[in-house]
Chains A and B, each alone.
Chain A
């Protein structure tokens, strides 16, 4: 488990670095929103649930998908618009989904996945199932009406959904202190009939423990919870971000609190892994990434015949 947590965070980090690299080279088009720096939130949260549970994701969704067990070959192929991608090349970065492993979709609309997560939780409750839904969203989404409507409904109907707010300090460029009238995000949970808790989002263990508690509540029929994970994104909002709204110093300070470095050090300190074993994990991740890239590059483009397919069932 501890090693798998490290491996997954590293997989996300290296995957995103490659994506950034390919963007710069023009090998991936459109736009992308990198998860670098936030790995502990996705991995910690997904470590608290079972494979049968569900997640909804955001426009910054590669981390969530990988943490939930998404196939990085299919993800890379999708980013390159290939026919073998998760969405046959028709979705792109913000619409990756894998319903077989409970990934109900990344989402191009801020807060767009929140009502959907609540609906999925409603279905689970109506179907008398014990699975839960992790609903990821950022600090920016808290200002959207859809969050409030959905959170209210979830709290009212005691639905098995865990609201995970990835507070990475900025919407696109707007600092969270300039966006929310109430800066204590945990209070927002209380407004909607659920407990709110704040954790260090760069401490993967802390995230996992907090989400585990929330998941247990949900499975026992006690309803939703709000977990605020305080973290930071290292790169810009998207590739077009010149970072004019924050300082280099701030970014460097947060890099010191790198979630990967912290967990790696813990693994060594606790004698769970040796340096050699960690290097082996790191090498294996590099290989897995290389295979994903090769798969994506060698995959064919979709044919025009799929252009008008699957608009309707």
Chain B
């Protein structure tokens, strides 16, 4: 075990899969010598060459579309979209093509591609570089959606995503890139569709994604001193979702709070609330299910405003206190 950053863990996953399978290749803007906008791919072109680490022009539709065509032909591309906000420029290829080809063709084809992309706010990048649009893709059958919250999960999940025969959208939170975590030196994989209970607790379940996992853990630490024990469940994969772990946790604690950065309206939280209300867990609830999520606004530039736009530790603590009162 050694401590490495989330970004290094992702780089290791890419490197290991590039070494393991010659069909794997990377394409994206500035991923070669520049090393990627967030430095994730630094060093890879020197090791694997331009044949396998392809710098592209600024062409998200062509990047995702070419990845789709290559995947149809048996390659296993990993496309990087520099900021997840830019996926909008490639939406037809991802949503109308990659996601649907297998079904539309009657099950005859597969599109084994991964789109890796940084999401989230907190870097002062403002409205068009800070969104959390994961729920758009949760809503598209045919796509898998992964959102690792730490270095260990990032590496294991990315390796699985690359080996998955479906189009996977892999969201990396920008603020997590330089956070450190313990990551084994030996190879390991984390299956998609498996949630992780990051902290056991008996009074309330928080279901959190992305950077809200660590904020929820901080909140849990504060609340623990008040005698409130919070269970934190990290779905890790949004589609396919590990419903069982979430439902069982809420059955155990009797209270649920969903925390995510994306806007509350139409966000992933609604999906979890609906799921819980339709499940056995409903009959175990001692309190309504709430969501603590991003405000329904574009992300502002000013630092204080930017912080106020999304859930912070104190918002989570406040919500839990009211639910357990």
Measured CB to CB, the residues of A under 8 A from B are 56, 85-91, 95, 97, 99, 104-105, 107-109, 112, 114-124, 126-127, 145-146, 149-150, 152-153, 156, 309-313
Contacts and interface: CB of A to CB of B under 8 A. Distances in A.
B96 to A, nearest CB: 5
B92 A112 contact: yes
Given A88-B106, A126-B51, A145 B61 contact: yes
Interface in B47-62: 51, 56-57, 59-62
Contact of B72 (A116, A150, A152, A156): A116
Contacts of B70: 119-120, 122-123, 126
Given A116-B69, A119-B66, 9 more contacts: A95-B104, A104-B72, A105-B104, A116-B93, A119-B73, A120-B73, A150-B61, A150-B62, A150-B65
Contacts of B77: 119
Nearest to B99: A311
B96 A109 contact: yes
Contact of B166 (A108, A114, A313): A313
Interface of B: 25, 51, 56-57, 59-62, 64-75, 77, 92-93, 96-97, 101-110, 112, 141-142, 144, 164-166, 240
B73 A312 contact: no
B69 A312 contact: no
Nearest to A94: B104
Nearest to B101: A105
Contacts of A127: 73-75
Task: Output the residue of B65, B68, B142, B164 with the most chain A CB within 10 A.
Answer: B65
A124 B64 CA distance: 17
Nearest to A97: B105
Contacts of A146: 61-62, 65, 92-93
Nearest to B164: A313
B207 to A, nearest CB: 23
Task: Output the residue of A90, A119, A122, A309 with the most chain B CB within 10 A.
Answer: A119
B99 to A, nearest CB: 9
Given A114-B65, A115-B66, A146-B92, A99 B106 contact: no
A127 B76 CA distance: 12
A97 B109 contact: yes
Given A146-B92, A313-B165, A91 B106 contact: yes
Contacts of A108: 96
A115 B101 contact: no
10 contacts: A88-B107, A97-B109, A116-B72, A118-B65, A120-B73, A122-B69, A123-B72, A153-B56, A153-B59, A312-B102
A57 to B, nearest CB: 12
Nearest to B107: A310
Contact of A123 (B64, B75, B141): B75
Contacts of B96: 108-109, 112
B301 to A, nearest CB: 28
Given A119-B71, A124-B73, A312-B144, A105 B105 contact: yes
A311 B93 contact: no
A115 to B, nearest CB: 2
A91 B105 contact: yes
Nearest to A85: B106
The 6 closest A-B pairs by CB, nearest first: A115-B65, A119-B69, A310-B107, A87-B106, A149-B62, A119-B66
Contacts of B106: 85-91, 310
A313 B110 contact: yes
Task: Output the residue of A85, A122, A309 with the most chain B CB within 10 A.
Answer: A122
A123 B69 contact: yes
Contacts of B110: 313
A114 B164 CA distance: 25
Contacts of A152: 57, 59, 62
A115 B69 contact: yes
B269 to A, nearest CB: 24
Contacts of B101: 105
Nearest to B113: A119
A275 to B, nearest CB: 42
Contact of A119 (B68, B103, B141): B68
B92 A109 contact: yes
A119 B72 contact: yes
Contacts of A97: 104-105, 108-109
A150 B67 CA distance: 11
Contacts of B92: 109, 112, 146
A133 B60 CA distance: 21
B97 A109 contact: yes
